[in-house]
Structure 1
């Protein structure tokens, strides 16, 4: 190891790195000291050098960080200090954090040494003061903040003691202040630290009071405002979605805009093929209840001037419920949700009636050339009626109770009346026929009802044929027959 140190030091005309670091504690800070630190930072990039680093070098780095803490505190107390001296102190602080950061990369012994020496607590004390300086627009302070946060991230990786220490010192106030920074990189690094430290127990802490919950809501907001920061999405999908209590509490406190962000993340997660779905059944049941309680809000979209975020939430909830009930075994208990099917059928009745009584987005159209911005195909309610039919079909698949309930709610004729082509609802005919097929399957009462219906808005026979049925007319009534298979 000594030969290694001498080799690095020799290339930079520094025979003794430890000695040079110790001198910084008593000398006036200069560019020479910055060069010393840069030498150490570079050397610590080497895995072998990190592994064989003496604890004395780690101690020297921490001793220097302590000295710099005093300088940073002085800058906070006297904001009018000389700009050159302030810049020098902040550059040294950033470089010292870089050296700490590099020392921790995949090196448990250095992580343990730093936590034993109190480096995490000292780092938080410096960060809280740098936050005050960075608010004045100091680029050097921002650089120091970034490096300090990166150090916390590296020292936490794979070390539970460090994770717990960081969480205790940073949660929730320091983390929240860091997330409020205008510096996107600093925010991204902070999210990385939070993601690294979070576990089941810490996630449960987020629902304890308003201050903790505000941190969760801020992360959701960052998913929307900083879409390029992947760490926010990881926090939500890998931690938040594993706590139904947290999701319920957050959803209750959110604005509709924040709800839309959360629902978009959930919808995207449903499309990820993983061994285990991270969205819990209890969350799915909660979202189903939110849909049944507020689904009538979508009716406001019948007004051309409407821009109702609550209606948008209903639309996204419907999209999620359609995906959840499309053959996902873990979510099929949604078929037993007491009010979900009734609310869906009732809502289809209401939007269908609205579309017939006046011209609005729920009115069937036959113009498929609308591609201009703001056209019918860009309206948020596009395919809404089709998705209602899809959800009804999903809820009735292999479920006799729900099949009967649709009949009792006069939903069969309603769905048949939505089998016509509609450019505002692409594939509505297919989803309607799909729903009818699931409603009729092994259900004689429903099949008899179909046979007694007169031709009023009935589905195109070719559509039914695709599902294995044919329609025959006899004495003014329609009969639904299975197609004969070719011999």
Structure 2
């Protein structure tokens, strides 16, 4: 029954009709008669479906042609009436694309859809010449196409992505945020991989998206949260920008994703590599607050990941590169502080709050770092042994004296030292061999 409506199905219909007439003339049994009637019903149904499909294709083609004409007229002179005509025709075409439309029907109109998207992009490139209502309607229309047209249909999706970039760049927040919503509805793992390619189009997309994210766009934040759920997204996000202000914002939302267990587990280990790279260039950026803010938020993200032994991210403690990076960072901070550059004590902390009585105790880089080392060494012999060999014990001990006014830091330093002494005999030997540098007084 898979033959076309114009040939096979009609032939079946004629053949079944002939058989019915022949059997009726011969007085055929009822069961045989029912079987033939059933075949006739299937044949008629096939013809009817094919006829409806053909009619729907013709209607879609007619509506798309009307939309193309309306877009041409609006591109020539974008008056309110002409833009309203575009909206009206776009709504009509959108209604015809739905659950009742087969993929084959849509692909039959592929050339018209591509032409329509090209003209729509040309019209919407100039924000001043186009109404926001037309842009919003276009976004809804694109979402409709994206829902029913396979992503493997390259020509259509190519022009749809160009449309998304245009919409993200609009200064009208309604349009740009709605564009983020559109991306959120269509994004998947393959989409994330495709946007990692280094091209002018991709760079423009990320530039526009990060601008929205920096402006605290709610839909941009939701899109970022959705990205975090896919493997490889964190590596991608930190590779497509070299602006530490942007990276700091991404790291802030990364902390939230870990706290709410929204981050794909595979993203943490590449993040360790990025953290290690940042530690290596600390000396060159010790006065760059955006860099330090990004670094502190990364440390905080690892603190959150290693605080709960029931967390899906707890296994990151087994990545010794994280322990090496954390201790190396602590050592560098200690050396910079002794040279007069106290990067973890500023008049304003990295969350733009004023230091003082109301200061968030977890706001400083060193404070988060000491906490991270405490988390990494808790009941983990390998990390305790590694931290001792890297020279963490003297620095942690010194922190309890130099930063004695910061109870948050001293308590975590003591916790880390206790864990290291419990798990590693070498740590016990180091501490037992030490002598006090001044008289010890017990109050």
Using structure 1 for the length normalisation, give the TM-score.
0.66
The question of whether the paired residues in 1 share the 8 Å contact of 2:323 and 2:376 is answered with: no
Q: Which has the higher helix share?
A: 2
> In the alignment, what sits opposite 1:181?
170
> In the alignment, what sits opposite 1:288?
275
> In the alignment, what sits opposite 1:345?
330
> In the alignment, what sits opposite 2:37?
none
The question of whether the paired residues in 2 share the 8 Å contact of 1:344 and 1:392 is answered with: no
**Offset, 1:264:** 1.6
Q: In the alignment, which of 446, 451, 455 is matched to residue 427 of structure 2?
A: 446
> In the alignment, what sits opposite 2:249?
261
Extract unaligned runs of 5+ from structure 2: 1-51
Q: 1:213 to 1:156 in 2, by over 3 A?
A: closer
Partners of 1:448 and 1:343 in 2: CA distance: 22
> In the alignment, what sits opposite 2:29?
none
Q: 1:64 to 1:404 in 2, by over 3 A?
A: closer
Q: Deviations over 1:176-225 (max 9, x none)?
A: 22211122232233333333443333322223223243123432332222
**Offset, 1:350:** 2.6
Q: 1:313 to 1:297 in 2, by over 3 A?
A: farther
> In the alignment, what sits opposite 1:272?
260
Q: 1:61 to 1:402 in 2, by over 3 A?
A: closer
The equivalences for 1:373-388 within 5 A come to: 374-376=354-356, 382-388=363-369
When the two chains are superposed, the root-mean-square deviation of aligned CA atoms in Å is: 3.9
Extract unaligned runs of 5+ from structure 1: 1-52, 80-85, 301-306, 366-371, 463-487
Per the alignment, in what secondary structure is the counterpart of residue 319 of structure 2?
helix
> In the alignment, what sits opposite 2:89?
96
Q: In the alignment, which of 170, 192, 215 is matched to residue 225 of structure 1?
A: 215
Q: How many residues align?
A: 381
Using structure 2 for the length normalisation, give the TM-score.
0.72
- Does 2:377 align with 1:390? no
> In the alignment, what sits opposite 1:136?
128
Per the alignment, in what secondary structure is the counterpart of residue 160 of structure 1?
coil
The question of whether the paired residues in 1 share the 8 Å contact of 2:113 and 2:156 is answered with: yes
Q: 1:247 to 1:229 in 2, by over 3 A?
A: closer
**Offset, 1:174:** 3.4
Partners of 2:361 and 2:423 in 1: CA distance: 36
The question of whether the paired residues in 1 share the 8 Å contact of 2:228 and 2:234 is answered with: no
The question of whether the paired residues in 2 share the 8 Å contact of 1:207 and 1:213 is answered with: yes
> In the alignment, what sits opposite 1:403?
384
Q: 1:65 to 1:90 in 2, by over 3 A?
A: farther
Partners of 2:90 and 2:156 in 1: CA distance: 16
Q: 1:290 to 1:436 in 2, by over 3 A?
A: same
**Offset, 1:258:** 1.3
**Offset, 1:242:** 3.1
Q: Deviations over 1:114-152 (max 9, x none)?
A: 4432363244133213214x532543xx31221122111
Q: 1:200 to 1:61 in 2, by over 3 A?
A: same
Partners of 2:225 and 2:388 in 1: CA distance: 44
- Does 2:191 align with 1:202? yes
Q: 1:442 to 1:373 in 2, by over 3 A?
A: closer
- Does 2:228 align with 1:237? yes
The equivalences for 1:397-436 within 5 A come to: 397-419=378-400, 425=406, 427-436=408-417
Q: 1:120 to 1:260 in 2, by over 3 A?
A: farther
The question of whether the paired residues in 2 share the 8 Å contact of 1:419 and 1:432 is answered with: yes
Partners of 2:234 and 2:257 in 1: CA distance: 15
Partners of 1:461 and 1:344 in 2: CA distance: 33
The question of whether the paired residues in 1 share the 8 Å contact of 2:146 and 2:186 is answered with: yes
Partners of 1:373 and 1:285 in 2: CA distance: 28
Structure 1 window deviating more from structure 2 (335-344 vs 286-295): it is: 335-344
Partners of 1:59 and 1:296 in 2: CA distance: 68
Q: 1:442 to 1:71 in 2, by over 3 A?
A: closer
Q: Deviations over 1:421-440 (max 9, x none)?
A: 96984511221122112211
The question of whether the paired residues in 1 share the 8 Å contact of 2:168 and 2:176 is answered with: yes
Q: 1:384 to 1:456 in 2, by over 3 A?
A: farther
Per the alignment, in what secondary structure is the counterpart of residue 229 of structure 1?
helix
Partners of 2:130 and 2:202 in 1: CA distance: 30
Partners of 1:385 and 1:137 in 2: CA distance: 52
Q: 1:349 to 1:454 in 2, by over 3 A?
A: same
- Does 2:76 align with 1:77? yes
Q: In the alignment, which of 144, 158, 172 is matched to residue 154 of structure 1?
A: 144
Q: Deviations over 1:294-346 (max 9, x none)?
A: 3346743xxxxxx6322222222221232233343331232345841441331
Per the alignment, in what secondary structure is the counterpart of residue 128 of structure 2?
coil
